[in-house]
Structure 1
Amino acid sequence: MLGAGVAAAVTLGCLPGTPPAAALPTWSPTGDRIAYTVPAQETASIETARPGTLRPVEGAVSYDSAPTQLAWSPAGERIAFEKRTGAISVLGLGRFGGGIRELVHVETGTVTELGDWSPDGRQLVFARDGHIHVLDVATGEIRYLAEGDHPTWSHDGLEIAYAVGNDLLGISPVGGLARLIARAETPIEQIVWSPDSTRLAFLGVVIGIVTRFAGRPAYTAPARPPIAWRPNGIFFSLDQVALVNTRIWRFDPDTETTTAVTHLPRGFNAYFLDASRDGRRVVYGLETANLPAGLRVVDGDGRHDGPLLACHGTPHADVVRGSRLNDVIRVNGGGSDRINCGRGSDVVYADRRDRVARDCERVTRLP
């Protein structure tokens, strides 16, 4: 949340991205919380937080192996996660959530890939060494489905799309014959469904879009994984030599227009990580000097860019200095503080006795 102070608990510098070591952010189905991990050697905590608040609202620790992927259940009461070891577990949230339960165990020498939840929240799809399986979350039963990689469930629940090299295929979740949807020009790395399940986008070197039942793929823009298809378009990040920095973009397949979502100053890169289900908000990884610098959240139209968690003071009298980017600063409830926001469009929540500089654009005084 805060950088190192010049004097302990006196001068505090806000970090441009928070938490600074966080990774793997994913939006809750309702779009009000973000789950993420905070690695610590071979373990990691899984935390959930509401953007703009001071601290996480809930958390758990994966002691034996750090997660490599998180996936919220459709109802938002559980989070499935894959570990570095290849095991897959489910974390139950809330007071009566039940904690962590491992459902797919380690198989040494294999490579596992967690897909996603079925729309009814009863099953998970995953791949292990090119074999796709469906997992019943309640019973733990695992059923083989097909040969392939990158499985993803359609939003209507009727089909699972997956890749075999350059081929994009679909199969019923109950099994049967697979069908060829499209043949890409390069090996497929990721597959996403359109919100209405009528089209699919796949990523090789560039994003390809194809209708569910027929047609030749239409290729759009180069991108780096991950991508996400939401009602307002396909979100992705792109780094090119010609660009000053890496930015997040939104492509509208219906109008074939591309819009920049992030507008960071030179020296900062934005890497897309996830978008809320309605596409109104995006969480991304910030990078500066080729090093990860935490998480930030921005509206899908590029407005209200800020850190995931707010910068905050101590119970003592603090001098708080903003970063080069937009900040959210909360110093209410402590001593008599001084706030200098600096660059960016900043939001400050302060007590009436705090001294807030004129370069802080939006100030809310709290009793």
Structure 2
Amino acid sequence: MFRIRVFWALSIAVASACAGFGQSRDVFTEPQSMLLFRKAYIEPGRLNDELYLVTPSGSFTVPELHGRVGQNASPIPAISPSGDRVAWSLKFMLNADSVKCDPSNKRWCDLKPKPIYKSVMGVYSVRDKTWQQYGDFCKVGSTAISPDGKRIAFTKSGNALCTDVFGDKELMILDLETGQMTPIPGARSATFWIDQLSWSPDGKFLAGSASGPGYGRIVLIDVATGTTKTIAEGSNPSWSPKGDWIAYALTVQCMVIHPDGTGVRSVLETEHKWMNYTLDAPIVWSPEGDRLLLNQRQVDGTHTRVITVDFATGHAIMNSKDGQVVMGWVRKSGD
């Protein structure tokens, strides 16, 4: 027997029941918008996390797939610009019927036999309320849906049975019209460390987090050639809707920089009171690019909040305290 140690950078308190979820203090709404939230929690014998789509008129829980298991520090999901699709790394335990857990102790399982996992690229259709699964990998990283909603970028590593966890690491593009997955040419060596992807508005480049000295690096990747360029130190990049700025995290600061590497500054430079929490992924732009949603966490990881920052003035307000992590923001008429 062993104890599953839970180190969730995005861990948050268990939410209230879905009834009346849109009015809960755990989440918030924006006019004529759809927001994507993620809730992480512990069930008997396993970790779990769920996705919620929240509008002013109500909320919707993205349904679970049979056999899916929660992930420690689960990869970041993505919502399409039109709000019609959600993309997420899905992890399955292939021998779940053989692995026994103690329902009376939520953090203990007998790992004999050892669990066998696989991961897929999952795409959920909001209209059809169905999941599509792509690939058969050991691990699938965070995802990003292209501005036209036709492609998904993601990292994958290892073979299907995870006998080579770190091998075959590639940055992939999934074509949603054909279902074909192709690696970005020349990007194999660079993608070993890349995570938290974000598309440029013209669909020609990806921004990503790459590990390195200090707090990591912000790199730009040419989707056609795989050529990479480092523009800043930091993590969790998020390209603005207009394409003129890239927001990223640097410890407690939300920084922005032009794609050419110039103009770097702190978004919260006029209101330092908000810099007492670390900044978690993702950084979420408003559809118009005039505001930012920031997921912040106390250093000890026990307290979280979401704030909205006016990009022009740097003025910030709190949206939720001890609530859910916001993952995406798209415009939806009629709400």
Report the TM range for the smaller structure's normalisation. 0.5 to 0.7
What runs of 5+ residues in structure 2 fail to find an aligned partner?
Answer: 1-11, 16-25, 95-114, 158-167, 212-216, 323-335
Farther-moved stretch of structure 1 (150-159 vs 260-269): 150-159
Contact 1:74/1:117 (<8 A) preserved: no
Change (3 A) 1:212 1:47: closer
User: Which amino acid letter does the alignment assign opposite residue 270 of structure 1?
Assistant: L
Whether 1:129 and 2:137 are equivalent positions in the alignment is: yes
Match for residue 293 of structure 1 among 304, 309, 334: 304
Cα drift, residue 190 of structure 1: 3.6
Write out aligned runs for 1:40-189 (5 A): 40-42=41-43, 47=52, 57-58=58-59, 60=61, 68=74, 70-76=77-83, 109-112=116-119, 114=121, 128-130=136-138, 152-156=144-148, 160-163=152-155, 168=171, 170=173, 172=175, 174=178, 175=180, 178=183, 180-182=185-187, 183-184=189-190, 187-189=193-195
Equivalent residues, number: 244
**1:261/1:37 Cα in 2 relative to 1: closer, same or farther (>3 Å)?**
same
1:261 aligns with 2:273: no
Map 1:346-357; keep pairs closer than 5 Å. Answer: none
Q: Determine whether 1:271 maps to 2:280.
A: yes
Q: Letter of the aligned partner of 2:249 in structure 1? A: S
Kindly tell me: are residues 155 and 49 of structure 1, through their superposed partners in 2, closer, same or farther at Cα, counting changes over 3 Å? closer
Letter in 2 for 1:112: S
Please list, as runs of the form range in 1=range in 2, the aligned pairs for 1:237-252 lying within 5 A after superposition. 237-239=249-251, 246-252=252-258
- Corresponding residue for 2:8? none
Question: What is the rounded CA distance, in whole Å, between the counterparts of 2:50 and 2:277 in structure 1?
Answer: 26
> Partner residue of 2:99?
none
Distance 1:238 1:304, change over 3 A: same
Tell me the residue number matched to 2:248: 236
Partner of 2:305, secondary structure, is strand
Check whether the contact 1:233–1:253 (CA below 8 A) recurs between aligned residues. Answer: yes
Q: Which residue number in structure 2 is paired with residue 143 of structure 1?
A: none
Which amino acid counterpart does residue 259 of structure 1 have in structure 2? R
- TM superposition shift of 1:196: 0.9
**Per the alignment, do residues 26 and 218 of structure 1 end up closer, same or farther by CA in structure 2, a change over 3 Å counting?**
farther
Equivalent residues of 1:168, 1:181 under 8 A apart: no
Aligned with 1:298: secondary structure? strand
Aligned pair in 2 of structure 1 residues 279, 177: CA closer, same or farther (>3 Å)?
closer
CA distance in 2, matches of 1:179, 1:261: 32
- Match for 1:304 among 305, 315, 325? 315
The structure with higher relative contact order (CA 8 Å, sep 6+) is 2
Flag the 1:153–1:44 CA change in 2: closer, same or farther, 3 A: closer
TM-score by length of 2: 0.53
Larger Rg: 1
Give the conservation status (yes or no) of the 8 Å contact 2:195–2:210: yes
**1:320 paired residue number:** none
Structure 1: segments with no counterpart, 5+ residues: 1-18, 88-107, 132-147, 240-245, 312-367
Match of 2:36 in 1: 35
> Which of the numbers 276, 281, 284 marks the counterpart of 2:294?
284
TM-score, normalization: structure 1? 0.49
Q: Is the contact between residue 90 and residue 119 of structure 2 (CA under 8 Å) also seen in structure 1?
A: no
Quote the offset at 1:180 in angstroms.
Answer: 0.6
Instruction: State the AA in 1 paired with 2:304.
Output: A
Distance 1:31 1:229, change over 3 A: farther
